[in-house]
Structure 1
Amino acid sequence: MTPTSTPLLTLSIVSHGQALLIRPLLDDLIRLDLPGIEVIITVNIPEEEASFQRLPFPARVLRNATPKGFGANQNEAFAHSRGEYFVVVNPDIRLTALDIPALLAPMSDPRVGAVAPVVTNGDGAIEDSVRRFPTVAGLVRRVLLKQRAPGYQWGPSPIEVDWTAGMFVVFRRKAYRDVYGFDHRRFFMYFEDVDICRRLKRRGWSVILQPAVTVIHDAQRASHRSMKHLRWHLTSAARYFTGL
C-alpha cells in the first residue's frame, strides 16, 4: 500500500527465513486494524515473500545482499522509517491487543526515550524482559548457577528500568537518533539492547516499562541450543564488559 501520511509508529521486523513465523504477527496487525502504523520487514536471507505482500497498511520490504546482525538491520530500517516512534518487534511476537495510547502515555514526559510493554510467554507467565544492568557476578549467577530472580517488580503504573530486552521496544525517534541507534559495529547479536539502553541513560533519556500493555513472546532461545549463537552471546558479553 502506498503511504499517504506520516505514520505514528514504524514497526520494524527482521526475518531470518521466518516468513511462516512472521505471518501470524502480520495477521494480528491486520485484525487489530491499528491506525497510524507502517511496517518495515527486512529479509535478511532470501526466502519466499508472498506472506509480506498485499498488506492493508503501509509496508515496505528491505532485502539484504548479505546477512546482517540485529543492530545493523534495525539501523537500516530506521533510516527508511517515517514514524514518529520506531518500534523494534521480534518475529515471534503475538498481539491479542495493542493499546497504542497507553503504550505511548509515558512518552508525554520528554525525557523518556524508550518504552516497553510487559512480555508474557504463550502460557501467560511474565517473562524476565526488563532487568538491571548486568555485572560479571550477576551473569555468572544467571548462566552458570541458573539463579534468575526478576530484576524488577511493578504495580499498575509505569516504572523506570535499566534496560529492556529487544523483543518489543518503542523508541522515541529523537532518542534513537541521539545515540546513533544500535552499535552494530561492536554487537552482531546479543547485548545490543543492553548497550543501547545504557547509552540512552548516559545521554539523559529514561527507559520505561508500561504495565498497562502486554505482548506475547514465543521465545526461540537460540543461544541455548546453538553453539554459534552461544559464541555470539559470549563475545557480545565480553565486549559489553570490557568496552572493546
Structure 2
Amino acid sequence: MKQKNWVKKVIILVIVLVCAAVYFLVPPVKSSMNRVFGMFASGDFDVVRNFVASYGAWAALVSFMLMIFQSVAAPLPAFLLTLANANLFGWWQGAILSWSSAMAGAAVCFFIARILGRDVAEGLTSKAGIAQIDTFFEKYGRNTILICRLLPFVSFDIVSYAAGLTSMSFKSFFIATGIGQLPATIVYSYVGGMLTGGAQLLMTGLLILFALSALIVMLRKIYMDRQGKQKGGNE
C-alpha cells in the first residue's frame, strides 16, 4: 500500500512539474491559458461565445476540449459553454456537442479519482464537496449518480470525482451520467439557441444567480450536518 501511494505521488509531481514547465516556458501556451482562464472568470456569455467562435473551423473541437478542461478544473461554469454551443451551432447540434463533451469530461474526472485517489480529487475540487457527495452515496447507493445529475444545484464535476472513489463500475457511472445529464443539456441548449441581445444578459444573470443560490444552500446544508454531528457526539 505504501509503495502504491508513493507511485501516485510521483505521478502527480511529474504531471504538475511538466504542466508548470510548459506553461512558463512556452509563451503561446501561457498566453492561450491566460485567455481561457480570463474567459471563464468573466462569466460573460458573449465573451465565451466569441472566444469559441474565434477558432473558426476548429470552434467545435475547441469547445469540446474546453468542456473537458472545465470539468477537471471544477467548478468553472459549464453552462456558459452549453449556451455558447447552441448559439453558434444551432440548438440540437450544440446539444450534441455539449452532451458528448460533458460525458468525456465526466469520464476524465472519474478516472483521475480512481487512479490518483481521494487527495487529488479533493485538491481539484474541495474536501467538503466530496464529503457531501459521499453522504449521497451512503443514502442512495448506485442511484446517486442519476439523482445528482438531475439536481441542478449539485456540482456535475464533483459527482464525477466522488464516483471514481467508490467501487462503482465505469459502465454504470457512464450510463447514469448520460441519462441524467441529457434533460439539462437539452433545456440549456434550446434556451441558448434563442438568446439574443438583452435576453442573453438576462439569462446569464439568472443562471449565475441560481448557481450562487444553490451553492449557498449546499454550504448551509454541509454546515448544519456538521453541527448536528457535533451535537450528537457531545451527548
* Bigger Rg, structure 1 or 2: 2
| Richer in helix (by share) | 2
TM-score by length of 1: 0.29
Greater length-normalized contact order (CA 8 Å, ≥ 6 residues apart): 1
TM-score by length of 2: 0.30
| Richer in strand (by share) | 1
